[in-house]
Amino acid sequence: MQKFEMGVQLEDVITGFKGTVTGYVKYITGCNQYLVSPKQDSGYKAEWVDESRLKAGKGKKIVISTPFGGNGPDLQAPIR
């Protein structure tokens, strides 16, 4: 089970790196990680950070909706 939801703001307690959760991966070894994406103008790129290093940050949860009302690509697969 994920500790944090997609779209919430997080901070790495070791480096202070801050951003929005845009991905999550659960490994068989238990070293679960979150893809933390900073604001575009920050000069940094998204980083995978271990779950144990993260704490909830300040800011509103970001929700992105697709035209078809769910996760995944914005376009439906072609129908044959």
Give the tens place of pLDDT for each residue, 24-67.
999 999 889 999 999 877 788 999 999 999 999 888 888 776 66
Which string of b and e fits 51-76 if b means at least 16 CB within 10 Å? Answer: bebbeebeeeeeeeeeeeeeeeeeee
Any domain includes 46: yes
What range defines the domain where residue 52 resides?
A: 9-56
Higher pLDDT, 22 or 62: 22
Any domain includes 65: no
The tally of domains found in the chain comes to 1
